[in-house]
Each structure stands twice: as structure tokens, then as C-alpha cells.
Amino acid sequence: MISTTGKRNLMAAILVISSSLSSHASAIEVAGVKLDDNQQVANTDLKLNGAGIRYKAIFKVYVAGLYLKEKKTTVPEILGVAGPKRVTLVMLRGLSNEDFGRGFVTGIQQNTEKAEKAKLIAQFVRFGEMFASVPELKKGDVLICDWLPGVGTVMSLNGKQMGEPFLDVAFYNAILRIWLGEKPVDSGLKKAMMADTSDDNKSSYR
């Protein structure tokens, strides 16, 4: 028979375990898409820095979430933070590879200096070829872009790696600036990924 003290200790242990489990499983919801608050990448616990919706005109295109080791609220901090990083995209509508690729290329062109683009041209060409091999992105598809120290930029679609890693960290930062650069593809999404929760930016979370 368990004593009163034993029962209290048992209940306390159960509460700790329950709290731990619910914390691990917690998630936010954006446009009906659930994004985990935490993800393990390269044996590192990454936190959801911010997430929002990519709009094109009035249409919702995808949900994007940025994961870092710790919360950052400025672009230089995000680009300079050490360790693995992750951007998760969940498609809200179907897009041809041409339309999706055009958005990526435009974002890179508008936010990468000429000298840096010249250094990374071979990687950009291979990046375009990689996406050309995917006929289309369908609603519900999950595209993940990871920076893995010692490995490089790794792209995966629905859990399957796409091509070989891109080794230069400057290439990953060029991709990040698609959403976080001075001319982002969606200014509301930029604020959302940088955890701006001001009233005028709340639409980026719905």
C-alpha cells in the first residue's frame, strides 16, 4: 500500500513527465498547418523563431517557418548565428516548378550583391537544375532547407533529400535573404519569421 507521501511523490513525477511530453509535442498553427515549436537537426535542438504565410496577391502560397538554436530578431543575427538552421515550407496550393523556381530566383537576384552572385553562380545553376527535376509542388508538400555545419545546405522534399549538399554557407544565407533580405518576396512573412507579433503583422500568422 502506497503512503500519502508516496502518492504525492508519484503524482509529482507524473506531472513532470506530462509537462515534459506536452512541451515536446507543442506546436503552433498557421493557415491550418501545424509547425512544431522544437525540432532536432544535426543533434541540436532548434526552436521555431517565427512563422508566417507567403502571399502572392490575395493567394496563400505556402507557410514558412524558421528554426534556430535561439530566438533572433534581426537579420544580421540570424545570418550570423552558429550551428544548424532550418527553413520549413509547407505548400498551401499547387505550383509548377517554373513558378516556384522563379520566386526563388527573383528573391536571390534582388537580395544578393553582384560580386557574391558571381562567386556562387555554379551553385545557383545546380540549384535551378535540381528544382527543374521536380515537375510541380503540390498542396501539402513539405520542402525543408537545412544548413548543417560540416555538410552544407541540404534540401529535401517530403523527407527525401534533393541532390547533393551545397557547401558554401554564403549560399544558404543567399537563400535566407529570399525571405529576410532588404527586398523580401513578402514583407509580412519576413516580419513573421523574425517573430514580429505587432498588430499590423498578425495577418501573416493566419
CA-nearest of 44, 50, 37, 73 to 150 is: 44
Across the strands, what pairs with 29?
34
Residue 139, burial from CB neighbour count under 10 angstroms (0-12, 13-18, 19+): exposed
Query: At residue 100, does pLDDT exceed 90?
Result: no
Q: What is the pLDDT of residue 92?
A: 98
pLDDT band at 111 (very low <50, low <70, confident <90, very high): very high
For cell 535551378, the residue is 128
pLDDT at residue number 103: 83
Sign for the pseudo-dihedral over CA of 64, 70, 71, 76: negative
Rg, Å, the chain Cα set: 20
The H-assigned helical ranges of 68-113 are 75-80, 97-111
Identity of the amino acid at 146:
D
Check pLDDT > 80 for residue 40.
Answer: yes
pLDDT at 200 over 80: no
Q: What is the Cα–Cα distance from 141 to 160, expressed in whole angstroms?
A: 11
Mean pLDDT (the chain) is: 86
pLDDT at residue 203 greater than cutoff 70? no
Number of separate helices (H) and strands (E) present in the chain: 6, 11
Counting Cβ atoms within 10 Å, is residue 76 exposed (0-12), middle (13-18) or buried (19+)? exposed
Q: State residue 3's pLDDT score.
A: 55
Closest to 144 (Cα-Cα) out of 172, 167, 116, 177: 172
pLDDT at 160: 96
Q: Which of 175, 131, 144, 177 is nearest to 41 (CA)?
A: 144
pLDDT for residue 16 is more than 90: no
Distant-in-sequence contacts of 6-10, Cβ < 8 A, 24+ apart: none
Give tens-digit pLDDT for 140-182: 999 999 999 999 999 999 999 999 999 999 999 999 999 999 9
Q: Which CATH number fits domain 27-205: 3.40.1010.10, 3.40.1710.10, 1.10.357.10, 3.50.70.10?
A: 3.50.70.10
> Is 27's pLDDT higher than 50?
yes
